[in-house]
Amino acid sequence: MELSGHALVRAQQRAIPMPEVEFILDNGSWHDMAGLGVGYQLSCRELDQQISGLKSRIRFLERLRGKSAVCSRQDGVVITVQHQTRRWKNAHHNKRRGTYGL
């Protein structure tokens, strides 16, 4: 994303950080600015939809607490799924499927 000098100054004056500008450009609705360019904005409805989606994702993630799956080292087939009652000793944290020796 490239910003003009004017846009950089205005973003700083208006306390609008670059990640917010990027999000608006990536997710906002656009409209023609009568020869001046293209404007992007997020309506309250669009923001509510984004927030609702994130809340659903958070609820999903919270439900994963204490759950685990055990896979075969040979072929990666899921052998069992369970509610975890205690932590595994020597667990390899942050390993994605396929990186643990399958």
30 domain-assigned: no
Question: Looking at the domain assignment, is residue 62 inside a domain?
Answer: yes
Domain that holds residue 69: 43-86
Kindly state whether residue 66 falls inside one of the protein's structural domains. Answer: yes
> Is 60 within the bounds of a domain?
yes
> Does any domain span residue 51?
yes
- pLDDT tens track for 17-58: 999 999 999 999 999 888 789 999 999 999 999 999 999 999
**70: nearest Cα among 83, 81, 86, 55:** 81
Structural domain count of the chain: 1
In a domain, 35, yes or no: no
Length of the chain: 102
Instruction: Report pLDDT for 97.
Output: 58
Q: What 3-state class would DSSP assign to 47?
A: helix
Quick check: pTM over 0.85?
A: no
With respect to residue 81, please indicate whether it lies within any of the assigned structural domains. Answer: yes
Q: Provide mean pLDDT across the span 11-16.
A: 96
